[in-house]
Amino acid sequence: MRVAFIGAGNMAGNHLQALRRIPTPHVVVGVHDVRKATALDFAHRADAPAFATMSELLEQARPDIVHIWTPGAHFEPARQALLAGAHIYVEKPFVETPVEAETLFALARERGLLICAGYQLTRNPAFQTLLRTAPELGPVTQYIGDRDPDRIAEYVQEREDALDGAVAMLDRAWAVPTPEGEPETVTKPSPTPEGENWASESDWGAESGEAPEAGLEPATRRLTAGCSTN
């Protein structure tokens, strides 16, 4: 099998190493990268020629399959490789629009070619475990994509520090200025049996003897419920 690379960065290098571990007979027949030095370095490691343009690579090397590792958009290199009669392996993101995807699918069907998008973790045991257990986590509000545990820990700590700062600001905000400018202490809400931080009408009226304004109640309820740290 004749293999070519369009794009010769770090991920392309990883796949070059992976190719050396598979038993399927193959040969790397060429590489193209807009960065000449990067292409030459990869060509040296792959013992293959570097081509100045993508069209020269496809026409002269005649690959059976093209690995596409260009930074940014992948649609045009993928389209050109299919038009040249090659199967394609495309790094994520596969394409940027549904129209681009359908265009590539149509070309592949017309020519009897295969497309593989590089979502390589779909069969990873850890990822499959996440898919099975995700419903138990509740609504997902943020996803951190990183394989470095130290970076993940640092990011989580930053978020916790930011939350602590926000809670401290809310604590200070409970001292509400009166029209005369003197701070008036307002009783903080206490958790209800359901776990929602909501002050009853009597809590809010304890200091002033007045019930809260009806128009403020829904917004206040949402604020205190959203800031619950239980």
Query: What digits encode the pLDDT tens for the residues 88-135?
Result: 999 988 998 999 999 999 999 999 999 999 877 777 888 888 888 888
What's the total number of domains in the chain?
2
**Judgement on whether residues 110 and 212 belong to the same structural domain of the protein:** no
Q: Domain containing 88: what range? A: 2-123
Which domain CATH number covers 16? 3.40.50.720
pTM, full prediction: 0.57
- Within 13 Å and on the Cβ side, how many CA atoms surround 194? 5
What confidence tier does 139 reach under pLDDT thresholds 50, 70, 90?
Answer: confident
Average pLDDT over residues 154-181: 66
Three-state DSSP at 174 gives coil
What's the pLDDT at 172? 61
pLDDT at 225 over 90: no
Q: Identify the domain boundary among 84, 108, 123.
A: 123
139 within some domain: no
Q: Identify the domain boundary among 106, 123, 140.
A: 123
**Judgement on whether residues 161 and 86 belong to the same structural domain of the protein:** no
Among 177, 193, 192, 188, CA closest to 220: 188
**Judgement on whether residues 19 and 67 belong to the same structural domain of the protein:** yes
**Judgement on whether residues 49 and 10 belong to the same structural domain of the protein:** yes
**Judgement on whether residues 8 and 91 belong to the same structural domain of the protein:** yes
**Judgement on whether residues 11 and 110 belong to the same structural domain of the protein:** yes
55 within some domain: yes
d(CA 87, CA 62): 11
What confidence tier does 160 reach under pLDDT thresholds 50, 70, 90?
Answer: confident
